[in-house]
Amino acid sequence: MSLALAPLDVSVEVEANLPCRKFDPDLWFSDSPAELELAKSLCGDCPLRVECLAGAVERAEPWGVWGGEIFERGAVVPRKRPRGRPRKEDLARDAQLRVEAEARLAASGLSESRSAVRLAA
């Protein structure tokens, strides 16, 4: 028995221009912050981005890039920080990125399901 993922938008072919199908899947689950940012940027033009993000929110994905957002421990994070203590300017940038991530979730219509998605502090 094989399972196939059918897109919600019937005008989109399953394999057509989906970055997660064209590039190495490990990129979306990398430990490297730079690689996760690359995966996020590749999701930008994906025709299934909103559906992918909604599915990840519904499933409370534990990690990875889904719909152009980074999930870590089931929460949307604005960016993955490298190991070690963050610099003060990184903390300020994280606060700004958190606001931008909230705006993207709201634009995707997922802010109503705020109880299902939490943004990591």
Residue 43 labelled as part of a binding site: yes
Give the pLDDT score at 111: 60
Structure token digits, residue 96: 């700004």
Cβ(78)–Cβ(97) below 8 Å:
yes
pTM: 0.60
Q: Are 70 and 120 in contact (CB under 8 A)?
A: no
Q: Please give the pLDDT value at position 51.
A: 93
Euclidean distance between CA atoms 76 and 39, whole angstroms:
15
pLDDT score of 61: 93
Distance CA 39, CA 24 (A): 10
Task: Tell me whether residue 103 is annotated as binding.
Answer: no
- pLDDT digit string, tens, across residues 12-64: 555 567 998 889 989 999 988 889 999 999 998 899 999 999 999 899 899 99
